[in-house]
Amino acid sequence: MPEQSGSDAPPARISSVLRSVALDPRDAPPPDMGREPEGFVVEVGAERIHFLDWGGPATSDDRQPAVLLIHGIGQTAWTWAPVARRLAPLVRVVAMDLRGHGLSDSPVEGYEPHRLAEDAIAVIEGANIDRVGVVLAGHGFGGAVATWAAGALGDRAAGLVLVDGGWEDVATSSGMTPEEWLPGLDEPPEVLRTLRAFLTDRHGFDPASWDADQERAARATVVEVPAGHVVPATRPHALAGTVRAMFAYRPSALDLVATRIVALVAGDPEGERLAALDDTARARAHRAAPPIEVATFPAAGHNLMRYQPSEVTAAILRLAGTIAL
């Protein structure tokens, strides 16, 4: 079923350890459609990790944190384009390709949580965006990677934005093993029949938000083979390693993140994911950490960067210090 777009609304249930926030899309500037990122790689041991550097404002503020954007499973840095185009006029922005994804190397091994965190930190240091701290934003599984990296960065982490992921124990909530969960990522054969069929399917998720950036993001996730059909660009061993890392994630990793956290929850008609976030926030509260701030998008699909780019941008800018609390 195609994902649906929508707008944010107050959470159905909220406790004292969660703080509801309203994200005003007017707090985000319009996208800079003329901006093109530069691609770079950093070496982490024998592997090369690719990232897109979207630049920043013409006049830099040495007191303002930069931003690292981390995509989810099977995606690439390009999925962040709608948000990066809105952020870059105000803050320095970098979006990375996780190992095994996009233009990063796909080693057979090395998908453990600490290695993924090291990759993110290597991008931060290689791009020289950690002078006054970094706001990390992760989508889906990228939220787990951002959390691991924020915990390792300590005081260098200036904020953490969890975009529809990063607060759940997937192993417990799904009751599945990685091997049982993996087949759910398979695309129907008719979607992979041709590149045109694949792009038509992605367009159909929400035609109103389909544009050149969405097409580029979609194209980056598949490879067209000589026979005419397409196959996922993320190789099976890399996908399996990434899924195992996702199943290894425990929300208690947020206990090690002392900085402010904003969580964005998409869909969730039964409130189960919000309840899981509440449980995570309660477990974190004993460290006297700031309450987790939350905004919900009941009618939106998982890809909030596509469906609610201004609100996602506003959440990041909130932690980067450009929006008053």
Residue 137 DSSP SS3: strand
Tell me whether strands 93-96 and 292-297 are parallel, antiparallel or unpaired: unpaired
Q: Under a CB-based contact definition with an 8 Å cutoff, are residues 21 and 295 in contact?
A: yes
Which class in CATH covers the domain with range 18-175+236-320?
Answer: alpha beta
Domain boundaries of the chain, sorted by first residue: 18-175+236-320
At residue 59, the pLDDT reads: 82
| Alpha-carbon distances, residue 8 vs 107, 176, 209, 256 (angstroms) | 39, 31, 17, 28
Task: Tokens for 235, please give them.
Answer: 């190789």
Distance between CA atoms of 162 and 173, rounded to whole angstroms? 18
Tokens 């889906």 sit on residue:
140
* pLDDT at 73 (0 to 100): 98
pTM tops 0.85, yes or no: yes
Profile the chain (325 residues) by mean pLDDT over runs of 10 residues: 42 69 95 98 97 92 90 98 97 98 97 98 96 96 98 96 97 96 96 98 97 98 96 98 98 94 96 93 82 95 98 97 58
The residue count for the chain: 325
